[in-house]
Amino acid sequence: EVEKSKRTILASNRLKTTKYTALSFLPKNLFEQFHRLANVYFVFIALLNFVPAVNAFQPELALAPVLFILAVTAIKDLWEDYSRYLSDKEINHMECLVYSRHEKKYISRYWKEVKVGDFVQLRCNEIIPADILLLSSSDPDGLCHIETANLDGETNLKQRQVVRRFLELDSEFDPLKFTSVIECEKPNNDLSRFRGYIVHKSGKKDGLFKENLLLRGCTIRNTEEVAGIVIYAGHETKALLNNNGPRYKRSKLERQMNADVLWCVLILLIMCLFSAIGHGLWVWQYGEKKKPIFDVPGPDGKYLSPVLASVYLFLTVIIVFQVMIPISLYVSIEIVKICQVYFIHQDKDLYDEETDSQLQCRALNITEDLGQVQFIFSDKTGTLTENKMVFRRCTVSGIEYSHDDNAKRLAMYQEPDSEEDEAAPKGGTLSQRDSICSHQSIKVIHRSQSTKTHRRTGSRAEAKRASILSKHTAFSSPMEKDITPDPSLLEKVNECAKHLEVMRSHEQPLSHLSPELCDVFDFFIALTICNTVVVTAPNQPRQKVRDRFELKSPVKTIEDFIRRFTPSRLTSGSNSSSSSSLATSKSMNRFGLSVLSSTSTDSTLLKLEEKLAYSAQMNNNGYSSQQGRTAVGSGPEEGELRYEAESPDEAALVYAARAYNCSLVGRLSDQVSVELPHLGTLSFEVLHTLGFDSVRKRMSVVVRHPLTDEINVYTKGADSVIMDLLLPCSSDDPRGKHQKKIQSKTQNYLNLYAVDGLRTLCIAKRVLSKEEYACWLKSHLEAESSIENREELLFQSALRIEKNLHLLGATGIEDRLQDGVPETIANLRKAGLQIWVLTGDKQETAVNIAYACKLLDHDEEIITLNAESPETCAVLLEQCLQCVESKFSNNTIDEATGNMAVGFTPLYPPSSSVLSSLGLVIDGRTLAYALEPTLEDKFLALAKRCRSVLCCRATPLQKSMVVKLVRDKLKAMTLAIGDGANDVSMIQVADVGVGISGQEGMQAVMASDFAIPRFRHLEKLLLVHGHWCYSRLANMVLYFFYKNAVSV
């Protein structure tokens, strides 16, 4: 039984995307065509020509052109609708297995016959016919892998999990015994969220999450057989609710052209009015007694009165002067735009050999807008950088480990120095030198000191070769995988393992370690298990506990037909909260916790509990007696473990832990296995996983420790939030003083990492008592069972457990610049474009990367805004505006371009003849204050005077708000470019959205107007193709207007 918001009529699964029927085609199509005012105008002119008193041409001939245009458009629409009809028919007549209560077995039925509440059975490589709640799987852990390429463009496999309690069934799932009641939210188009609960016969209630839902249009992979109940059918499925059709935008030139057409109509009316008045005066001067020259009397032999003659002539000259409005202009523009898109696609310079991808034009109507862009808003990670994370340094328990040998290894991947070093910040501030501002939060920094240049990963040929050699891994380059450990830290890890081996028979073995060694042990455990990384061995088939099966060979599907109704973009990519990822898993219910991310849909999976030779008997402490280690070399050798992660950061940390012999060797729905030297395999019972989201900026796992049987919370996240969640330290307590000292040292090392341009993460831990966990668990289960405000309740539940943390350490990960980024930014700025970078990274890291990529130059004056309250932000903005206006009062303003030339000489002379300019750096908290209605005008007034703007710690919502502010207030043409789901809102708000097909999936590409492989391709797309498209189209429009004006 399914209850859905008290609706008695449930949607049919029949797909109907056609617009017309045999009877409604003609009237409906004509009604649609007459929505174009141009068609109404030309039909009016043709009908006017049928009036004998005013006709200027043969009526039948005057009607021919407009009928031809209407007929051609109607035939085109009819053909498109007939194609949709054939596609609908093919999809509706696909077959699937539906349970028949009458025959008590699964029988074959058409997709169109599937209804809400039906039980459906699917096999490997079959396409899912409706949104189905997963109730049974042939996988012993209740897992099901699906491919969502038809839905969101991502080719990696996703993992879905059988609903709780149904996984615990001893016998096979029987639909006749299903007596539970399902209640779920109304149909919506949010692909990242599903809320509901299921009430069992016993009265117990379990929450339902997106991990339990199989979406229509996806394909079952690597799972022999699954079964479930239909929740949403037909046009209520998420796939069809996301089907908004192709993107349509009106370009700035088209809007201007429509205004010009209206001016032409006005000119036409004025010309006709003057002609009519002149004719009336001509007739009037002869009076009634004289015979007007060149005038023809009526049938009764009388001449028309001057007024009536003027009216008739007015209508006649409208017919004569109708060519003032070009009837063929719109058709010609469509043809030209198609040709322009073709030429852009044929440009070999916009093809990336490494990724084997080229530019995609997803919006055909705005190619000319590329040549009118004034502001570029760019993400940093994955857009300006490679998003291939390389572990560089770490600090544990207040001690820093520089990993010098690892730095030397990475230097081998660097290219020889071919460019001058980038500039680094100098400590002095302009406020100190020139007394511009007195507030210490305003820093105007002048760069003159050299710093290390961020170079690209190395030879592209080498990267491509490595990618081909191990194409199944998420991170194939040895540079990311092979890490040289720091000798002193490795020695401490081994010492810790030896002590634990000796003390493992004790009740609390960790209590016998020193505080430093305890932190080292927990630090690497957190790196290994606080993630959603999936372990695979691509050369091995997936093993089953119950019975072994062989995957069927791929069958022929109609995915091409499915693509006809899959979305062309994600409309809710980052608008929906990620809090739904807080949906957790309890081990007693064996609820799945991780999502498989694979670069190959053909690779099979390995269940590691058998292939890694786990001990047949696990002792009470949860570790095995096995001492042998599985080979984990860097090459694609037999038995090698492969880590597939949702984000490059997670994989980099797991590879780093593996370098210290702390290896992630297995992950099941309710446990994660870690192999340590001298200890063998430790199996942690996973109780809950609190996923990362952009608001909390952290993730946590709640596990039962195998050595102590304690409930531990391991948390990793941004230092800006983790440091605020630490347990307060008392200055009177020696232990508290020691912890305070460790926190202070760690913060100093984090600042040093950020100055070096490294991405920083803090690692922390909390031990929960049984009472604390029981109290938290009760409220958390209630949050999971909620429907209306589940995300908010889960968010608050995570906040309750992620507090009073103990700091373990921090990591520094390098994300290198993409090839050609500095040159591209420099050329775009030379062309007069203003570039804003909106990033979620901390301020120091973002500033360092900004200098490396030439966003900020060493001859620029940098204003840095950091405010703790709205009042402080208002004061800072006011002071900055006054300082800029007073100090730069002798600047010259170019009214045509808006560029400002600074008229004073900085303390340190610039390296070029170009006068110094301004740059603005603002953090996320201050940006939130600056975007308030009372301050946004001041913020914009300051920002528009800056050549570059860098917004740090920005959330996805703030990114879109900044773009919207500039677009609406400055009336400027904006372009947003990004590569991840957190950039979707920004891309959709901008006039032109550009997505980069990178490491973070295809959400940004699906939401964009144009998709490019690399950031460097933006230069030619804008400065060459954008200029050509605008120039050619504008000249063509002018030609049509002038040609027709001459004809008149």
Least reliable range by pLDDT among 626-635, 638-647, 686-695: 626-635
Q: How does residue 1045 score in pLDDT terms, banded at 50, 70 and 90?
A: confident
Does pLDDT of 253 surpass 80? yes
List, in sequence order, every residue forming a beta bridge with 949; answer none if it has no partner: 836, 920
In a domain, 949, yes or no: yes
210, 676, 1006 from 153: Cα distances, Å? 18, 39, 7
Region 139-156: mean pLDDT is: 75
Annotated binding-site residue? 556: no
Q: How far is 400 from 396, CA to CA, in rounded Å?
A: 7
Q: How far is 411 from 353, CA to CA, in rounded Å?
A: 24
Predicted pLDDT of residue 791: 82
- What are the structure tokens assigned to 882, written together? 């006054």
Q: How far is 482 from 405, CA to CA, in rounded Å?
A: 12
Region 1031-1047: mean pLDDT is: 88
Annotated binding-site residue? 815: no
Three-state secondary structure call for residue 950: strand
Predicted pLDDT of residue 596: 31
Annotated binding-site residue? 148: no
Annotated binding-site residue? 708: no
Region 871-884: mean pLDDT is: 90
* Residue 434 CA to its chain's centroid (Å): 43
User: 492 with 427, same domain?
Assistant: no
Predicted pLDDT of residue 93: 94
Backbone angles phi, psi at 25, to 5 degrees: -60, -55
Query: Would residue 379 show up in a list of annotated catalytic residues for this protein?
Result: yes
Question: CB of 541 within 8 A of CB of 606?
Answer: yes
- What is the enclosing helix (H) or strand (E) of 680? strand 680-690
Least reliable range by pLDDT among 231-245, 571-585, 922-936, 1020-1034: 571-585
Predicted pLDDT of residue 395: 93
Q: Which of 130-144, 845-859, 999-1013 has the highest mean pLDDT?
A: 130-144
User: 793 with 849, same domain?
Assistant: no
Region 375-401: mean pLDDT is: 87
Does pLDDT of 115 surpass 80? yes
1006 or 896: which leads in pLDDT = 1006
Annotated binding-site residue? 716: yes
Predicted pLDDT of residue 280: 85
Three-state secondary structure call for residue 791: helix
Does pLDDT of 28 surpass 70? yes
User: 799 with 858, same domain?
Assistant: no
Annotated binding-site residue? 473: no
Predicted pLDDT of residue 547: 32
User: 753 with 900, same domain?
Assistant: no
Annotated binding-site residue? 381: yes
The string of pLDDT tens digits covering residues 746-771 is: 999 998 888 887 888 999 999 999 99
User: 756 with 845, same domain?
Assistant: no
- What is the enclosing helix (H) or strand (E) of 409? helix 404-411
Which is catalytic among the residues 139, 152, 379, 991? 379
Annotated binding-site residue? 959: yes
User: 534 with 438, same domain?
Assistant: no
Least reliable range by pLDDT among 220-224, 857-861, 923-927: 857-861
Annotated binding-site residue? 840: yes
Annotated binding-site residue? 650: yes
Least reliable range by pLDDT among 396-400, 582-586, 900-904: 900-904
Region 1014-1024: mean pLDDT is: 93
Predicted pLDDT of residue 734: 75
Backbone angles phi, psi at 711, to 5 degrees: -95, 115
Beta strands in 92-245 (DSSP E): 95-100, 105-110, 119-123, 131-137, 143-147, 157-161, 181-184, 196-199, 205-208, 213-214, 219-221, 225-232
In a domain, 371, yes or no: no
Annotated binding-site residue? 421: no
Which of 766, 782, 813 is the endpoint of a domain? 813
960 or 905: which leads in pLDDT = 960
Does pLDDT of 565 surpass 80? no
Query: For the chain, what percent of residues have pLDDT higher than 70?
Result: 75
- What is the enclosing helix (H) or strand (E) of 410? helix 404-411
Mean pLDDT value across the chain: 76
Question: CB of 893 within 8 A of CB of 944?
Answer: no
Which of 789, 813, 837 is the endpoint of a domain? 813
In a domain, 473, yes or no: yes
Least reliable range by pLDDT among 3-12, 455-464, 662-671, 886-895: 455-464
Does pLDDT of 5 surpass 70? no
User: 827 with 923, same domain?
Assistant: yes
Region 571-585: mean pLDDT is: 36
Q: How far is 693 from 792, CA to CA, in rounded Å?
A: 12
Q: Provide the residue range defining the domain that includes 830.
A: 422-456+818-954
- What is the enclosing helix (H) or strand (E) of 73? helix 59-92
User: 780 with 899, same domain?
Assistant: no
Predicted pLDDT of residue 294: 65
Helix 252-284 and helix 1027-1047, axial crossing angle in degrees, nearest 10? 10
Predicted pLDDT of residue 412: 61
CATH of residue 116's domain is 2.70.150.10
Q: How many CB atoms lie within 10 A of CB 29?
A: 19
Annotated binding-site residue? 737: no
Least reliable range by pLDDT among 413-427, 493-507, 657-671, 857-871: 413-427
* End-to-end Cα distance, the chain: 72
User: 791 with 659, same domain?
Assistant: yes
Q: What is the number of domains present in the chain?
A: 3
Beta strands in 397-502 (DSSP E): 399-401, 422-429, 443-451
In a domain, 472, yes or no: yes
Predicted pLDDT of residue 911: 35
In a domain, 372, yes or no: no
User: 879 with 797, same domain?
Assistant: no
Annotated binding-site residue? 380: yes
List, in sequence order, every residue forming a beta bridge with 376; answer none if it has no partner: 835, 975
Predicted pLDDT of residue 289: 59
In a domain, 369, yes or no: no
Does pLDDT of 262 surpass 90? no
What is the DSSP secondary-structure string of 231-242? Answer: EE-GGGSHHHHT
User: 761 with 881, same domain?
Assistant: no
Predicted pLDDT of residue 432: 35
Does pLDDT of 45 surpass 60? yes
The string of pLDDT tens digits covering residues 786-808 is: 877 888 888 899 999 999 999 99
Annotated binding-site residue? 971: no
Which of 770, 788, 813 is the endpoint of a domain? 813
Region 849-866: mean pLDDT is: 85
Q: Which of 86-95, 329-338, 384-393 has the highest mean pLDDT?
A: 86-95
774 CB burial (10 A radius; 0-12, 13-18, 19+): exposed
Torsion of Cα atoms, 924 then 926 then 928 then 930, to 10°: -140
In a domain, 111, yes or no: yes
User: 836 with 775, same domain?
Assistant: no
Annotated binding-site residue? 81: no
Least reliable range by pLDDT among 26-40, 276-290, 827-841, 853-867: 276-290
In a domain, 757, yes or no: yes
The string of pLDDT tens digits covering residues 946-1003 is: 888 999 988 888 999 999 999 999 999 999 999 877 788 899 899 999 998 766 667 7
601 or 661: which leads in pLDDT = 661
